Amino acid sequence: MESRRPAQDPVRALIMSRLLEFRPWMLALAVFLACALGIAVMEQFRDGRVMWAQAEQQARPAGR
């Protein structure tokens, strides 16, 4: 049996090079997924008493 090499099959070489070329949406997708994964991991390790990124409501003085 003969083994095919990408250099011998120009169509296959073109397809493989198109798969490896940089596309901006791939970077955007990778950043989005990394952020989503980071948030999911942080939520798992969060202490129940601490609420991240939430402001506490301060009590108003009695005279107002």
Residue ranges per structural domain of the chain: 22-47
The dihedral sign for the CA sequence 29, 32, 36, 41: positive
Q: Which has the minimum average pLDDT: 22-26, 32-36, 53-57?
A: 53-57
Q: Which of 29, 30, 28, 7 is nearest to 17 (CA)?
A: 7
Q: Any idea what DSSP says for residue 57?
A: P
pTM: 0.46
- Of the chain, the percentage scoring pLDDT greater than 90 comes to 22
User: Rounded to a whole number, what is the distance in angstroms from the first to the last CA of the chain?
Assistant: 90
